[in-house]
A and B are shown apart, each in its own frame.
Chain A
């Protein structure tokens, strides 16, 4: 009886320990389009808890007609913004999308909304959904 009790206890403990999702988002900041603008930016950290590289090739959102993966670089004093084909997060690592670096460009809002939902996909395979509130603007 005592052994069964102990086994049950261990089983409960094992079940309550949640397995981390393969890809976890944190520090999500989605800016509102500035006055007169139809575009804004998204920043977040993506942590890969799996043992394989995770690729994000596109992002969709119900609140925006288009979401693009972009990167700003400053080389030789010149600021450039380019579309990038994919975000790659190696196993066990965190990729940070931040101001002046890799970021999401959100284009043409489809509705007035306080929140934004982002679907991260590898081709047609959904990888992660992130829901966030809009931040009031740039900080």
Chain B
């Protein structure tokens, strides 16, 4: 084999290898690592709650942008701040890689007795700007949680010191105000950074 033929043979081998590589990549599109995407998104129910500034929050509040919704309460020193920090970290990393649009982080209180709008505002400000805190009457809260399959239950304790069991999931709400996907606990920032662009791209 002449040197020229050897060169051509190498070129062909490289081209073949690249073809196989690209072929494999296009055959297996990336899948979410942690999120479960609903086969058919579910519209949010009718409800009327308030945000941290006292403004009314309804289903329409969720229209026009993506939201990451977490259910928790401010008198929770362990899992709630940890989850909010994970979401804030994921949001920062997505912003750094110029992935847009960035979903808004939403905390829905499952402890509306103690979580006043003012308290929600001070608490959420700690985790960054632009987050939405939702609280209000227990009846209106239950309209939302029941429709979404979110569980919460106040535990016995004193006025100041009681805990609330609650679903650990983070819900992805799409810009049509529909329940679109679900991250079940335990949460990792990397999972949100990996999965959210895929979910948004396939919408």
Q: Report which A residues bind B (CB closer than 8 A).
A: 31, 34-37, 39-41, 70, 72, 74, 77-82, 99-100, 103, 105-107, 137-139
Interface stretch among B11-19, B26-34, B60-68, B118-126?
B118-126
CB–CB B163/A82 < 8 A: yes
A78, B75: Cβ atoms under 8 Å? Answer: no
A82 to B77, CA, bound (A): 12
Distance from A17 Cβ to chain B, minimum over Cβ atoms (Å): 39
Partner of A37, one of B75, B79, B84, B85: B75
**Could you tell me which B residues sit within 8 Å of A by CB distance?**
74-79, 81-82, 84-85, 118-119, 122-123, 125-126, 151, 161, 163, 165-169, 184-186
Name which residue of chain B comes closest to A42, CB basis. Answer: B77
- Cβ-defined contact, A77 with B168, below 8 A: yes
Can you list 24 A-B pairs, Cβ within 8 angstroms, ordered by A?
A: A31-B81, A35-B122, A35-B126, A36-B119, A39-B77, A74-B79, A74-B186, A77-B151, A77-B167, A77-B168, A77-B169, A77-B185, A78-B167, A81-B78, A81-B79, A99-B78, A100-B79, A100-B186, A103-B78, A105-B77, A106-B77, A107-B161, A138-B82, A138-B84
Which residue of the partner chain, among A34, A37, A78, A100, contacts B151 with CB atoms under 8 Å? Answer: A78
In Å, the complex CA distance between A92 and B29 comes to: 48
Which of B163, B166, B186 has the most A CB atoms < 10 Å from its CB? B163
Closest to A81 in B: B163
A19 to B142, CA, bound (A): 58
**Chain A residues in 8 Å Cβ range of B126:** 34-35, 137
Q: Judging by beta carbons under 8 Å apart, are B184 and A72 in contact?
A: no
CA distance A34 to B77 in the complex (A): 8
Interface contacts (Cβ under 8 Å), in number, total 77
Q: A79-B166, A80-B165 are in contact. List 10 more A-B contacts (CB 8 A).
A: A31-B81, A35-B122, A36-B122, A41-B77, A70-B78, A74-B185, A78-B167, A79-B185, A99-B82, A106-B77
Give the distance in Å from the alpha carbon of A35 to the alpha carbon of B84 in the complex.
14
Of A74, A80, A138, which contacts B85 at CB under 8 A?
A: A138
Determine the chain B residues whose CB is within 8 A of the CB of A36 once the complex forms.
Answer: 74, 118-119, 122-123
Pairs of residues from A and B, 5 with the lowest C-beta to C-beta distance, nearest first: A36-B122, A41-B77, A79-B168, A35-B122, A138-B85
Q: Across the interface, which residues of B come within 8 angstroms of A103, CB to CB?
A: 77-78
Q: Which residue of B lies closest to A66 (CB)?
A: B161
Contacts of A105 in B (CB 8 A): 77-78
In the complex, are the beta carbons of B161 and A72 less than 8 A apart? no
Complex Cα distance, B169 from A74, in Å, reads: 10
